[in-house]
Amino acid sequence: MLKLTGIQIGQYDSSYTNKDTGEVVNKKRIQVMTVQELKGGKKSVLHDLTIPNDKASKYQGMNGKEVTVDVSYFGQGITFFGI
């Protein structure tokens, strides 16, 4: 299992409409800022993660604090999401 650790910047709700069923699906999201070490210094990276609704309360009130999120990924450019 992969873990992503960084500073939580925000938490918000998002939604989309399932094209097959027409159902509106609500998702919870958090934003986590990580620091990537480079040869010439450091680079901040903002990750926008979907998280399971049942885990959203774990991140309530955590803005500005360090969090560790269980994640998986997809895509060639690697897109993380919470699990």
pLDDT bucket at 1, cuts 50 / 70 / 90: confident
pLDDT tens per residue across span 17-53: 999 999 998 999 999 999 988 899 999 999 999 999 8
* Close Cβ partners of 9 (under 8 Å, ≥ 6 residues apart): 31, 32, 33, 46, 63
Expressed in angstroms, the distance from the first to the final Cα of the chain is: 9
pTM above 0.85, yes or no: no
- The CATH number of the domain holding residue 19 is 2.40.50
CB of 80 within 8 A of CB of 72?
yes
- Please report the pLDDT score of residue 82 as a whole number: 75
Q: Which domain holds residue 32?
A: 2-82
For the chain, how many structural domains are there in total? Answer: 1
pLDDT bucket at 80, cuts 50 / 70 / 90: confident
Rounded-to-integer distance, Cα 59 and Cα 35, Å: 20
User: Which sign does the torsion angle of CA 71, 45, 74, 16 carry?
Assistant: positive
